[in-house]
Amino acid sequence: MRYVDGPTTEVSILIAATPEAVWDVVTDPTIPAEHSQELQSAVWDPDGPEPGLGARILGHNVNPAVGEWRTSSIVTEWDAPNAWGYAVGDDPASAAALWRFTLTQSDDGTTLTQHVRLGPGPSGLTPAIEAMPDKEERIISKRLQFLSENMTANLAAVKARAEAG
């Protein structure tokens, strides 16, 4: 597994609610910060356009291995109530990560999937990989596991809110 190959991970959860009800919750960028070990806050850019294609999300992150940093992400997909995604950075072609949520209706409710692709641009992993190229696979594997755990907590929170109405 190499960073240049765009490693990915995703998690899914079944929610006993309509896609519209799930959409209203999953497009709130403040929710992941309530359950993340890294993301401290995220908000729609108050000086930008309304939530939708081209809108920006401003984030604040902390990780003991990397330190503290802020992000600006741009919404690259907005198809209510089916899917939305964003790129961390100003340009999807050089994003640190590409995030995507898909909502699929079923007889039992809505399956919500959260997906992330690392890269294609540099990220907090880049210095670690450059310093220890022989450990690249392990570094990436650990990062994907960490992200999966946080994504699982995020989807559980979305499920609880959407099902509570």
pTM: 0.95
CATH number, residue 80? 3.30.530.20
Between the CA of residue 132 and those of 23, 51, 95, 126, what are the distances in Å? 41, 40, 22, 10
| Strands lying side by side in the sheet with 39-44 | 8-15, 109-118, 97-106, 83-88, 67-79, 56-63, 39-44
Give me the number of domains the chain comprises: 1
Specify the pLDDT at position 106. Answer: 94
Q: State the residue range of the domain holding 124.
A: 3-164
Specify the pLDDT at position 97. Answer: 97
pLDDT digits (tens, 9 = 90+) for 76-131: 999 999 999 999 998 999 999 999 999 999 999 999 999 999 999 999 999 999 99
pLDDT digits (tens, 9 = 90+) for 126-143: 999 999 999 999 999 999
pLDDT digits (tens, 9 = 90+) for 2-39: 999 999 999 999 999 999 999 999 999 999 999 999 99
